[in-house]
Structure 1
Amino acid sequence: MESQVIAEQVVIAGMIVLTGTVGSWAKIITEQIRYAISRLVFNITLPLLIVTTISRMEMSHEVLVNGWWALVFTVVSILLMYGFGKVSSRLFRLPNRSAVVHELHTMFGNIVFLGFPLIAALYPEGESLLYASIYYMVSSFMQWTYAVFRLKGQKDVPVRDRFNNLLNPNTVAFAVGILLFFIQFQLPYLVYQPFRTIGNATSPLALLYIGATLAGTNLKGILKRYDIYVLSFNKLLLIPFVLLLIINFFVKQIGIDFGDMPGTIIVLETAMPCMSMIVIMAKAYGAADDLASENVFFTTVLSLLTLPVVYFLTTAV
């Protein structure tokens, strides 16, 4: 039944993405509108979705234990992606500008614009976004520290520059949501309901943004890049599968108490396509932003096929 749900959600997501693409081709979604959508999602709708979802959860021993192991396996996921990115970039002997993008795109997925909408649709209960947010927090920490460090090079990166971007509306929303969760404070209905309604706009807006972004990608040369095939295979299938095996080993052989749903969420977040924000960061720091754009396009299109496969593996292994 859940396999049918994720298949339906992927089809629905694909249709919204296609709508965004057509809207961009028709000049309805302009560059300015696309930029406005990204800011709206990142600064308003997603933070409200996070805080209204997490704050409504009921505290239990199971949630706390699952949250802890979700954090542990998120770190394992990041380390796996880091290792695979390093090895594959050296395998292809990529020049530094391209190698940095390859490594970072192996590590960082499109959690905000695809991960959260998919998880929210697949698991409507509030608990699911807690685990997705934990993954986001760890990924965001690494993005604004290690990724900036790699893009700028090995020198002249003040500590303040590495950490100032960690304070953003989504991390604040997570902190507020966690605080309300621990003190079990329920937002008044007249506050909760409008905020929740706005937060529910995250999914369609994020998917429209992805579609509009894909519309501007130049397809020429993508299919000739052998490294993009390895990047896609590693990120969308191999690393999630390895992580799934590790989680299953600890759950079944070691006997840790980690639920199926949070485990599936961590694996699905690992299987997200390349992060679009890396394109902007690569351009800002002089890395190969053209290759980064191609990575986002190629892996996003493929993810519409691979995400159902990954989900099926989580139920079969």
Structure 2
Amino acid sequence: MGSEIIIHQLLIFGVLIVVGAIGSYSGIITEKAKDFLSRFIIDITLPCLIFSTFARIDSNSQLLINGGLVFAFTFVNLFLAFVVGSASSKLQGLNKGNSTIHTLHTMFGNIVFLGYPLFDALFPGGIGIFYAAAYQLASNSVTFTYGIYRLSSGTNKSSFKRLMNINTIALLIGFGITAFKIPVPSFLIDALSGLGKATSPLSMVYIGALLMGIGIRKSVKHWSIYILSFVKLLLLPIAAGFLYMFIVKTFNLNMSREAFIVLVMEMAMPCQTIVVVMSRRYGGNYQLAAGNLFVTTILSILTLPAIYFFLNYLLG
């Protein structure tokens, strides 16, 4: 049943991505419109989705414990991906700039534009988004510190102000509402929920428009893209699945099936969109970053259902 849901959802995403690509190709979605769409999703619809989801969810101690486990193990995911990405860069003999892109894209996946809609479909009722938000909170703390530091070649150090954006604030408030069971007026939840539901379709349209405008032919010629795709979409999540299964059994952790799947599948997400944007801003090889994004996004249509099937087999 879960495999059918994920395939159905990815087909929906595919249609919406094509709509975005057509919009970009026809000139309806301009470069300025893409920038606006990205900011509108990140700064408005996504915080509304997070807040309204957390306000509706029926919290309990087990949910919070699992959220804490996902948050903590996110740093393990990122560390493993950093080690593998760095080693892969050295083995391929990539120059410093390309090595930075390769390593960061091994570490960071599209956990917002693709992760949120996918886990909301897989685990409805707010549980999927709750665990995805825990993962995002941990991941963002590294993206906007180490990620920016690497892309700017050590010249731009992250500030607390950049880290504490509206998205992070929505996450923290949402966790507080869930943890302490703070009542929220129904009219406020309904209003923000309606706006938050636009996150999924708008995200897919944005990805389609972005992919159409990045010069695909030039971007996908670098052979490191395909090594990255294999490592990020298959090797790392499979290895992480076995690792966390060993940890859960060895230490007798009461980790829910949903939390386990979200934790591992977040590692299998295609490359993160924001790395493309930041590499362009800081003078990095954004064409390579765009190629990483394009190829891994296309291949993830096949690999994400495969990883989901693997995890269900592993969990029994």
Using structure 2 for the length normalisation, give the TM-score: 0.95
Matched, 1:6 2:6: yes
In 2, Cα distance between equivalents of 1:208 and 1:60: 36
In 2, Cα distance between equivalents of 1:4 and 1:53: 24
In 1, Cα distance between equivalents of 2:207 and 2:128: 23
Aligned position for 2:82: 82
In 1, Cα distance between equivalents of 2:61 and 2:207: 37
Read off the aligned partner of 2:61 and give its amino acid letter. H
- 1:65-104 equivalences under 5 Å are 65-104=65-104
CA RMSD of superposed structures (Å): 1.4
1:59-88 CA deviation, whole Å, 9 max, x = no partner? Answer: 212112211211222111111111111000
Aligned position for 1:313: 310
Matched, 1:48 2:45: no
Alpha-carbon contact 1:145-1:163 (below 8 Å) kept: no
Aligned position for 2:116: 116
Q: Which moved more, 1:244-253 or 1:173-182?
A: 244-253
Read off the aligned partner of 2:271 and give its amino acid letter. C
Alpha-carbon contact 1:268-1:307 (below 8 Å) kept: yes
1:79-115 CA deviation, whole Å, 9 max, x = no partner? Answer: 1111111000101111111111111111111111111
Aligned position for 2:39: 39
Aligned position for 1:278: 275
In 2, Cα distance between equivalents of 1:113 and 1:256: 30
Aligned position for 2:21: 21
Matched, 1:211 2:208: yes
In 2, Cα distance between equivalents of 1:157 and 1:15: 38
Read off the aligned partner of 1:142 and give its amino acid letter. V
Aligned position for 1:258: 255
Alpha-carbon contact 1:34-1:209 (below 8 Å) kept: yes
In 2, Cα distance between equivalents of 1:280 and 1:75: 23
Matched, 1:107 2:107: yes
Query: Deviation of residue 157 (structure 1)?
Result: 4.4
Read off the aligned partner of 2:59 and give its amino acid letter. M
Aligned position for 2:222: 225
1:262-302 CA deviation, whole Å, 9 max, x = no partner? Answer: 11011111111111111121122222111111111111111
In 2, Cα distance between equivalents of 1:166 and 1:272: 22
1:157-183 CA deviation, whole Å, 9 max, x = no partner? Answer: 45xx34331111110101111111122
Query: Deviation of residue 222 (structure 1)?
Result: 4.6
Matched, 1:238 2:235: yes
Q: 2:254 aligns to what SS in structure 1?
A: coil
Q: Which moved more, 1:281-290 or 1:203-212?
A: 281-290
In 1, Cα distance between equivalents of 2:248 and 2:181: 29
Query: Deviation of residue 225 (structure 1)?
Result: 2.2
Query: Deviation of residue 259 (structure 1)?
Result: 0.8
Read off the aligned partner of 1:186 and give its amino acid letter. P
Which structure 2 residue ranges, 5 or more long, are not aligned?
Answer: none
Q: 2:217 aligns to what SS in structure 1?
A: coil
1:94-150 CA deviation, whole Å, 9 max, x = no partner? Answer: 111111111111111111111111111221111221210111011111011111121
Alpha-carbon contact 1:149-1:162 (below 8 Å) kept: no
Q: 1:290 aligns to what SS in structure 2?
A: helix
Read off the aligned partner of 1:2 and give its amino acid letter. G
Aligned pairs, how many?
A: 314
Alpha carbons of structure 1 residues 210 and 157: separation in structure 2 relative to 1, 3 Å = closer
Read off the aligned partner of 1:124 and give its amino acid letter. P
- 1:165-184 equivalences under 5 Å are 165-184=162-181
In 2, Cα distance between equivalents of 1:87 and 1:163: 30
Read off the aligned partner of 2:239 and give its amino acid letter. V
- 1:185-200 equivalences under 5 Å are 185-200=182-197
Query: Deviation of residue 185 (structure 1)?
Result: 1.9
Aligned position for 1:300: 297
Matched, 1:153 2:153: yes
Q: Which moved more, 1:59-68 or 1:165-174?
A: 59-68
Q: After the TM superposition, which parts of structure 1 deviate over 3 Å for at least 4 consecutive aligned residues?
A: 221-224
Matched, 1:137 2:137: yes
Query: Deviation of residue 221 (structure 1)?
Result: 4.3
Read off the aligned partner of 1:10 and give its amino acid letter. L
Read off the aligned partner of 1:277 and give its amino acid letter. I
Alpha-carbon contact 2:220-2:295 (below 8 Å) kept: no
Which structure 1 residue ranges, 5 or more long, are not aligned?
Answer: none
Alpha-carbon contact 1:16-1:204 (below 8 Å) kept: yes
In 1, Cα distance between equivalents of 2:142 and 2:270: 17
Q: 1:272 aligns to what SS in structure 2?
A: coil
1:26-83 CA deviation, whole Å, 9 max, x = no partner? Answer: 2222222221111110011000000111122222121122112112221111111111
